[in-house]
Amino acid sequence: MQQPSTPSPSDRPVVELEHVTRRFNGLTAVDDLSLAIPAGAILGVIGPSGSGKTTAVRMATGMLNPTFGEIRVLGEVPARFSRKAREQIAYMPQLFSLYDDLTAGENINFVAGLFGTYWWKRGPVVRRALETVDLWDARDRLARDLSGGMQRRLELACALVHDPTVLFLDEPTAGIDPVLRQSIWSSLRGLADEGRTLLVTTQYVSDAEYCDRVVLLARGHLVAFDEPEALRRRAFGGDVLQVHTERAVDPEMLAGVAHLTSVRQDSPRRLTVVTADAGKSSPAIIETLRQQGVAVASVEEYQPSYDDAFAALVGADERAMQALAGEKTEPGGGA
């Protein structure tokens, strides 16, 4: 594959959305979404069904116009993409939209042709794309005879076949088993490492770990946008430590320890502590408890799952929204 030049940090983001809103007949599908993806990064757009992921992708690929806001991809407005820009973009739709009566190989060959790949160059690129998604052995099978997971992989291969610079993949891992999912993410990581830029939507929260940055959407609204690890920290207000002691302990004993955000007692001999800096807090906790006659059996950093983290973020966002709505409805509470 052609190696895109690695951009310098000062380069403009490959994909930029600024305060983008999209409404359908008064219903807001995407609300004031801003994000930027630098070259060579994977942005995961995570959210439940109906959260606005596909609408965002369709706007970024020029199929939908934003009601408000601005979008730029490769420096161009998507609705007016030049042919050169289109040749650098790949789009994988959410639903299978290839030809049932063509084989896997013929489908991918057709898509390569759509992007102007010359006949004599197609053999190797078709093979490489099919091998990337582990479908080379199924190249002569009709698309309608492929399983749902294989059809998704074929769609992904079609998105890769013309050697794109920017890829918009709408739920590429939907319906794919965990082992193959990992393999696909590994391939996507390889593409990003080559300097390609990827926007990938997914309903699987755990897919966040493969992304450089993650956008969390709910009801078309941006809940969070950050690196996955930072989002996990933000979900619980910092690092989470689990402190096990030799005898019963009172949470008040940790009142003087710096950086602590919260202390919760899970059992007489176990505390869950949230701290802004686990590295500094751990020795302080051990020392403080020791001074009060409580020996610490262990202090472990607890890694909450992304599911827990994102559920916490969405929950906090919902509470904030409800509070805001409550303020607005109270007399004298603003417009």
Partner 1 sequence: MSGFFKSIVRISSFIGKELRELIRRPGAVASLIFGPFLIMAIFGIGYRGYRDPFVTEVVTPADSKLPTDPGYYENLTEGRLNIVRVSHDEQAAIERLRKRQVDFVVAAPNNAAQQLRAGKQSVLHVSWNEVDPVADGLAQVAVNTLVHELNAEIIRQAADEGFKAAAAEGADVEQIPPEVIAEPTKAETQNLAPSKPDVLDFFGPAVFALVLQHLAVTLTALSMVRERLGGQMDRFRVSPLNSMELLIGKYVAYALFSLVISALVAALLVLVLGVPMLGGVLPFAGIVLLLTFASLGVGLLISLIADSERQAVQLSMLVLLASVFFSGFVLPVEEFIQPVRYLAYILPVTHGIDTLQESMLRGGIGDLWMLGALALIGVVLYVGSLLRLRRVLRSAI
Binding residues for partner 1, rule: CB under 8 A, are: 58, 61-65, 78-79, 83, 86-87, 89-91, 93, 95-99, 101-102, 106, 109-119, 142, 158, 168
Closest approach of Cβ 144 to partner 1, in Å? Answer: 10
Closest approach of Cβ 255 to partner 1, in Å? Answer: 58
* 13 and 38 Cβ atoms separated by less than 8 Å: yes
Closest approach of Cβ 276 to partner 1, in Å? Answer: 44
User: How big is the chain by its Cα radius of gyration, in Å?
Assistant: 24
**What sign does the dihedral 94-100-105-107 (CA atoms) show?**
negative
Q: CB-wise, 36 or 102, nearer to partner 1?
A: 102
Closest approach of Cβ 15 to partner 1, in Å? Answer: 14
Closest approach of Cβ 113 to partner 1, in Å? Answer: 3
CA–CA gap between residue 21 and residue 29 (Å, rounded): 8
Q: CB-wise, 96 or 204, nearer to partner 1?
A: 96
Closest approach of Cβ 55 to partner 1, in Å? Answer: 12
Closest approach of Cβ 31 to partner 1, in Å? Answer: 19
Q: CB-wise, 115 or 311, nearer to partner 1?
A: 115
According to the 3-state scheme, what is the secondary structure of the chain?
A: CCCCCCCCCCCCCCEEEEEEEEEECCEEEEEEEEEEECCCCEEEEECCCCCCHHHHHHHHCCCCCCCEEEEEECCECHHHCCHHHHHCEEEECCCCCCCCCCEHHHHHHHHHHHCCCCHHHHHHHHHHHHHHCCCHHHCCCEHHHCCHHHHHHHHHHHHHCCCCCEEEEECCCCCCCHHHHHHHHHHHHHHHHCCCEEEEEECCHHHHHHCCEEEEEECCEEEEEECHHHHHHHHHCCEEEEEEECCCCCHHHHCCCCCEEEEEEEECCEEEEEECCHHHHHHHHHHHHHHCCCCEEEEEEECCCHHHHHHHHHHHHHHHHHHHHHHHHCCCCCC
Q: CB-wise, 65 or 303, nearer to partner 1?
A: 65
Closest approach of Cβ 4 to partner 1, in Å? Answer: 18
Q: CB-wise, 27 or 179, nearer to partner 1?
A: 27
Q: CB-wise, 46 or 89, nearer to partner 1?
A: 89
Interior CA angle at 273 toward 271 and 277, to 5°?
150
Q: CB-wise, 104 or 241, nearer to partner 1?
A: 104
Q: CB-wise, 54 or 245, nearer to partner 1?
A: 54
Closest approach of Cβ 231 to partner 1, in Å? Answer: 29
Q: CB-wise, 39 or 90, nearer to partner 1?
A: 90
